[in-house]
Chain A
């Protein structure tokens, strides 16, 4: 890694009339990274990608590719290749012509193009299928042709706009692995867009989580999952239990939050938010369902709740509990062959390990 071409967004604003689609985005993507933009529908992901590929220019700020300001450089002259949300294969051209369209543009001979197409077809495991039309391929095959077409141009940066969203679950999982492998093989920078947090976490070196035009957090998948910086990130990425209360005490990087109906809970303050939180402030504390386990724990890491329901999900049980407050609690337990955890209606104590609760300022939650 580190050999590819870096992409930087500096104070990028994108407006459509009065509507601000992207607000002051600052992102630096290392060369050779697999970088994802993750966010709900309509948050401005495609808009950012279009600014990188050159189909629209930022209202303010700069887009740099390989350190070079891209202002005034059209999409046909940028070292990027874009894979569209709907792939946009050319339906009237054969697969091999599709793949080598970028060479045709540069005036390569048919023999040259055919040769390169065959190499790329072998790489995507579609050898010998170059003479088909795109309509004669399956969804996953079309997907791979789109990737080959984009790679054929030898771009420095590959931009992918939710390319897997049209595929079914099995194929999607398979293509994730394949995409990641291709990225590692060719070693170029991938910028990937998705609203599927599983996809972003499994594939990316770094993830930017977006909400309504604003980038809330940039970090590795683990950072974003374990130490979300805002309430939105905590609730959007993965499942989470949220408790709201007043901060009683701050002690280094941990805070004691008094949650009505439950009592004080101790959590780690998200590093990005530490400057914004003081004793006496309202705050939110998030605990992952899988961090919870039955049984008493230390003070500040225990809560009591009534069992409402239990669901069996094959590899895990989800237990729904009521802690008397407004929040419903979910606890996820790995299926290790145990019997029912608890009777419906019974009281039980739950605890969580140190560092597994995260305290962030009060903020908007992801609506789902």
Chain B
């Protein structure tokens, strides 16, 4: 009933022709860019990797073997676990969560400062300055970080100049560069949703709380953070999803011994030419991140509608 009324309104405001075109475009987007690719990936993930001659033949049946491979590796008896891949998976998820938390802690004060000193030209300039680095390609930015964190990079130079260290620190192998790169790659996606909600907070509410004797920590806990929660949630969701699914930063900044889960997926597709296996890994990553996001939303009582704001 309700849906029908919404559609009627939609046609009334846009006209029948324009309305139909808009719906067709949205439909095209959903079907061809979202649903079909995912369905074909899903389909792939349940098939064997067969030579072209056998595809569609009697051996081309659905199977769980690609998923089992993630759990048990090539051990057909399922006695031992595929610890290498599972650890990579776990590490990717934990690291993405840590990167998200790091970005959140870093962005909150910044967003508060930007959002509450509204209207001043200086703040606008700051925001533009924050955006400009993002006009540069993600891969170039990652390489720039690699240079900065390298053995002869700026950071090591400075540390050695200050005699804080005698030997250059291997930031790459220690994964410091990777975390810094991931944190930096998506930090604006955390900052802007937070900035937007905090900017919309009425300054008088903060002053009212202050007038009633509240300390700054309490004002943030009771007034600012509850107000900013939807923005924080949407920032965290984006940073987490994108970090967990990042490929460029781990490829370029990751240490030689530590793989990101997306690199495994990439290897299945590209090096092993086993798309079926790659698809299964990709689906596992997608579903897990969605479940994690939904769980956190449940814990922090954020609804889907808030995120879209």
Report Cα–Cα, A194/B133, bound state, in Å: 50
8 Å CB interface, B203-219 against A: 204-205, 207-215, 218
Report Cα–Cα, A53/B204, bound state, in Å: 13
Q: Residue A84 contacts which of B208, B214, B215 (CB distance < 8 angstroms)?
A: B208
Q: Which residues of A contact B226 (CB under 8 A)?
A: 92
Binary flags per residue of B191-212, CB closer than 8 Å to A gives 1, else 0: 0000000000010110111111
B227 at the interface (CB under 8 A from A): yes
Report Cα–Cα, A105/B217, bound state, in Å: 11
Report Cα–Cα, A227/B49, bound state, in Å: 100
Closest-by-CB residue of B relative to A82 is B211
Q: Measured between C-beta atoms, what is the minimum distance from A115 to chain B in Å?
A: 18
Q: Residue A75 contacts which of B210, B215, B222 (CB distance < 8 angstroms)?
A: B210
Are B205 and A102 in contact, with the CB atoms below 8 A? no
Q: Which residues of A contact B202 (CB under 8 A)?
A: 86, 88
Binary flags per residue of B89-116, CB closer than 8 Å to A gives 1, else 0: 0000000000000000000000000000
Are B213 and A105 in contact, with the CB atoms below 8 A? yes
Binary flags per residue of A52-86, CB closer than 8 Å to B gives 1, else 0: 01010000000000000000001111001110111
B34 at the interface (CB under 8 A from A): no
Interface residue range, chain A: 20 to 34
8 Å CB interface, A127-185 against B: 149, 153
Are B207 and A101 in contact, with the CB atoms below 8 A? no
Are A81 and B218 in contact, with the CB atoms below 8 A? no
A340 at the interface (CB under 8 A from B): no
A339 at the interface (CB under 8 A from B): no
Report Cα–Cα, A85/B202, bound state, in Å: 12
Are A80 and B211 in contact, with the CB atoms below 8 A? yes
Report Cα–Cα, A82/B209, bound state, in Å: 10
Count: A-B pairs, CB below 8 Å: 56
Q: Which residues of B contact A104 (CB under 8 A)?
A: 222
Q: Which residues of A contact B207 (CB under 8 A)?
A: 55, 75, 82, 84, 88
Given A84-B204, A92-B226, also A105-B211 (CB < 8 A): no
Interface residue range, chain B: 10 to 19
A317 at the interface (CB under 8 A from B): no
B223 at the interface (CB under 8 A from A): yes
Are A105 and B214 in contact, with the CB atoms below 8 A? yes
Q: Which residues of B contact A74 (CB under 8 A)?
A: 210
Report Cα–Cα, A96/B207, bound state, in Å: 19
Are B213 and A53 in contact, with the CB atoms below 8 A? no
Report Cα–Cα, A204/B136, bound state, in Å: 64
Given A92-B226, A92-B227, also A75-B204 (CB < 8 A): no
Given A88-B204, A88-B207, also A102-B212 (CB < 8 A): yes
Q: Measured between C-beta atoms, what is the minimum distance from B222 to chain A in Å?
A: 8
Are A105 and B205 in contact, with the CB atoms below 8 A? no
Q: Which residues of B contact A149 (CB under 8 A)?
A: 212
Given A86-B202, A90-B223, A92-B227, also A106-B208 (CB < 8 A): no
8 Å CB interface, A97-113 against B: 101-102, 104-106
Are B204 and A76 in contact, with the CB atoms below 8 A? no
Are A76 and B214 in contact, with the CB atoms below 8 A? yes
Q: Which residues of A contact B208 (CB under 8 A)?
A: 82, 84, 88, 90
Report Cα–Cα, A75/B208, bound state, in Å: 9
Q: Which residues of A contact B213 (CB under 8 A)?
A: 76-77, 102, 105-106, 153
Q: When A and B form their complex, which 8 residue pairs have the shortest distance between CB atoms, in order from nearest?
A: A88-B204, A102-B212, A88-B208, A76-B213, A105-B213, A84-B204, A92-B226, A82-B211
Residues of chain A whose beta carbon lies under 8 Å from any beta carbon of chain B:
53, 55, 74-77, 80-82, 84-86, 88, 90, 92-93, 101-102, 104-106, 149, 153
Given contacts A86-B204, A101-B214, 5 further A-B contacts (CB under 8 A): A74-B210, A82-B211, A84-B207, A88-B202, A105-B214
Give 17 A-B contacts (CB < 8 Å), ordered by A residue. Answer: A55-B211, A75-B210, A76-B211, A81-B211, A81-B212, A82-B208, A86-B204, A88-B204, A88-B207, A88-B208, A90-B208, A93-B222, A105-B212, A105-B214, A105-B215, A105-B218, A153-B213
